[in-house]
Amino acid sequence: MKKGDESALTILVSLIVLMIIISQYFIFFVFFPHKIIQPDSQQYIGSEIDLPLMTFVKLNSDLIVISAKNNDYNDLEKKIDELEFDGCWELKIKDRTFNKNNCDIKNPETTIMNIPDYSNNQIKIILNVNKE
Amino acid sequence: MRKGQIFMPIVTIGFLILMSTFIFLIFTHQNETKEFFSIGSLQSNIIKNYFESEKVFYYYEKLLEYNEYKTVKEFVEEGAVPDDCNKRWKFNSDCEPDFREYFKQILSEKIEGKYKELGINQEMEVYFTDFSFPSGSNSAKVEYNGEIKIKKQPLINFQELEQLKSCIESSIKEINKCSPESSSGSIYKFRKKIADILDENLEPEEIFLEFEIDTKNSGLGIFS
């Protein structure tokens, strides 16, 4: 066997081994899914806006109830103005919408929370945040 | 052409065909691969479901809180005894107070149709409903479920009220021991603060229990 023939054989064997490894990787990758933790950031956004809404509602539930009852949201509006989210957002309480920056929400991420009022009626609070 | 000259191009072309096939397979099995690539979705759904359950719990906590305020107010309106007793306690009759039972009766009317079980002992426990939040993916199914049970200390100290009742019952001849607020002949009036609540405007309000007892007609048979 000549010298050049040997090196061609080496390359051939290397490539075959490489192909077998890559083939196995793809076969297992596509047809045998396993549980690997790889968070999908888009799916966490919902949870990220849930927590601030819950905190806001829990801290201000009596104020929300009395504002909705009297249809006077002045005090509550000051509390709403203290809320901070990335990008455009709005908060809806019953039929009132609070949009501090008067901006458009084109791709909303929504979370909803209900609280009862003094007469056992439901007050719906909706937070919409623009998904970036 | 020599063998050695065509060998490498053929191997390269073969390799490219193989890779293209795999990429094609990934795209034709997009749903499986998407599921596979977006692992963590199940976990994030579980977190989201936990938040959803927290919201439901809070709703029922507030529901119980407001209804307890209303119940306390109604509880004292007629001196903790039925309307037809006219705020006058009488032992061994329908006008003998049974504080926990009477409170339970009023509260259950307030939250009628919204609960499954209601118990008032040392603590007040209301079993409202069940929750169920299923999450799933191709590889696993998880269901987060449970009972919405709210447990809290009642606003009214029933033990104190029961002590007052026992005092009156055991000392009817010397009823002044039980600190009545005023008296007129055989009728003794009592007034006792029993709770702090929020009224319908969510303003603080002190609640007093007022009732009277006629020592000549107390139902204990001592002066009858």
Domain total in chain B: 1
Q: Please judge whether B47 and A47 are an interchain contact, meaning their C-beta atoms are less than 8 angstroms apart.
A: yes
Read off the pLDDT band of B189 (50, 70, 90): very high
Distances (CA, A) of B145 to A45, B6, B55, B134: 23, 66, 14, 8
State how far the Cα of B134 lies from the Cα of B48, in Å rounded to an integer. 11
Mutate to test the interface with B, among A47, A59, A65, A112 (most CBs of B within 10 A): A47
Strand, coil or helix: B143: strand
Read off the pLDDT band of A43 (50, 70, 90): very low
For chain B, give me the number of helices (H) and strands (E)? 5, 7
Q: Tell me if chain A has a CB within 8 Å of the CB of B140.
A: yes
Which residue in the block uniquely carries the two structure tokens 């606003």? B155
Please check whether residue B74 lies inside any domain of the structure.
yes
Please check whether residue B79 lies inside any domain of the structure.
yes
Tell me which chain A residues have a C-beta less than 8 angstroms from the C-beta of B138.
33
Neighbours of A126 (CB within 10 A): 17
Is residue A52 within 8 A of residue A85, CB to CB? The reply is yes
Residue type for position A119: S
Neighbours of A103 (CB within 10 A): 12
State CA B88 to chain mean position distance: 33
Please check whether residue B31 lies inside any domain of the structure.
no
Please check whether residue B53 lies inside any domain of the structure.
yes
Q: Check whether B117 has a pLDDT greater than 50.
A: yes
Please check whether residue B71 lies inside any domain of the structure.
yes
In this complex, the residue of A36, A69, A115 whose CB is nearest that of residue B62 is A115
In this complex, the residue of A15, A50, A118 whose CB is nearest that of residue B15 is A15
In this complex, the residue of B25, B66, B138 whose CB is nearest that of residue A116 is B66
Q: Check whether B4 has a pLDDT greater than 70.
A: no
In this complex, the residue of B40, B54, B58 whose CB is nearest that of residue A38 is B40
With b meaning 16 or more CB within 10 Å and e meaning fewer, what string describes B88-101? bbbbeeebebebbe
Tell me which chain B residues have a C-beta less than 8 angstroms from the C-beta of A54.
51, 54-55, 58
User: Is the ipTM beyond the 0.85 threshold?
Assistant: no
Q: Per residue in A57-103, pLDDT tens? A: 999 999 999 999 999 999 999 999 999 888 899 999 998 999 988 89
Instruction: Tell me which residue of A127, A129, A119, A116 sits closest to A61, measured CA to CA.
Output: A116
Q: What is the pLDDT of residue B38?
A: 55
Please check whether residue B113 lies inside any domain of the structure.
yes
Q: What is the pLDDT of residue B47?
A: 85
Tell me which chain B residues have a C-beta less than 8 angstroms from the C-beta of A31.
29, 32
User: What percent of chain B lies above the pLDDT cut of 70?
Assistant: 90
The range of the structural domain enclosing residue B59 comes to: 40-217
CA atoms within 13 A on the CB side of B180: 19
Q: Check whether B54 has a pLDDT greater than 90.
A: yes
| Token pair belonging to B8 | 């490498």
Q: Please judge whether A47 and B48 are an interchain contact, meaning their C-beta atoms are less than 8 angstroms apart.
A: yes
Distances (CA, A) of B140 to A38, B31, B36: 15, 15, 12
Does the pTM exceed 0.80?
no
Please check whether residue B32 lies inside any domain of the structure.
no
Q: Check whether B178 has a pLDDT greater than 50.
A: yes
Q: Check whether B74 has a pLDDT greater than 60.
A: yes
